[in-house]
Amino acid sequence: MVPEDGQTSVGQTPARAEAGGADDPLRAAGQPVPAGSGPIPVAEQRLDPRAIARASLQASRNASLWWTATGVVLTCVVALVAGTAAGAVTLAAVLGGGAVVRAVRPSPGPVALAVRAKVIDVTVLALLAVALVVLALLLPTVAA
């Protein structure tokens, strides 16, 4: 017997059978299946913590996340070594490279860069790159 909260004794959620499916308890008992029953919509399904954990582990195998993180680390190193203006230009180059990659790769595109529609992603990345270059050029430099 499963408690009312849907959890088994070991904390696992039992699989829900599709209404009207071969493993539906109503159909197995020979009872009529309600007319409005069908597959459970995705938004109403319970979250499976194990599936979420598996998906997060698969993210470490995604090259676009590593390239993006490498670009951010490189930007930080350049900013510390060569100054903030050089770091801003480096970050602009990373954003510009991301815009180009997002534009030329087929949909859905790299996971780290595909957030919205392709046109919106490319436009936002390119505008941020241009804005960073403009701001880097406007930064006052201090002569040592």
Tens-place pLDDT, residues 21-41: 556 565 666 666 666 667 777
Are the C-beta atoms of 65 and 113 separated by less than 8 Å? no
Q: Mean of the per-residue pLDDT values for the chain?
A: 80
User: Quick check: is 120 in a domain?
Assistant: yes
Task: Report the domain count for the chain.
Answer: 1
User: Quick check: is 71 in a domain?
Assistant: yes
Confidence of residue 11 (pLDDT cuts 50, 70, 90): very low
Choice between 65 and 98, residue whose per-residue pLDDT is larger? 98
pLDDT at 22: 57
Confidence of residue 12 (pLDDT cuts 50, 70, 90): very low
Choice between 95 and 24, residue whose per-residue pLDDT is larger? 95
pLDDT at 57: 67
CB atoms within 10 A of CB 76: 13
Residue 103, pLDDT above cutoff 90: yes
User: Quick check: is 75 in a domain?
Assistant: yes
User: Quick check: is 107 in a domain?
Assistant: yes
pLDDT at 8: 47
User: Quick check: is 36 in a domain?
Assistant: no
User: Quick check: is 72 in a domain?
Assistant: yes
Confidence of residue 76 (pLDDT cuts 50, 70, 90): very high
User: Quick check: is 115 in a domain?
Assistant: yes
Residue range(s) defining the domain that contains residue 112: 63-138
Q: Which two tokens stand for residue 58?
A: 């698969």
User: Quick check: is 100 in a domain?
Assistant: yes
Choice between 78 and 9, residue whose per-residue pLDDT is larger? 78
For the chain, give percent helix, strand, coil, nearest 5.
Answer: 55, 0, 45
Q: Is the peptide bond before 34 cis (omega within 30 degrees of 0)?
A: no
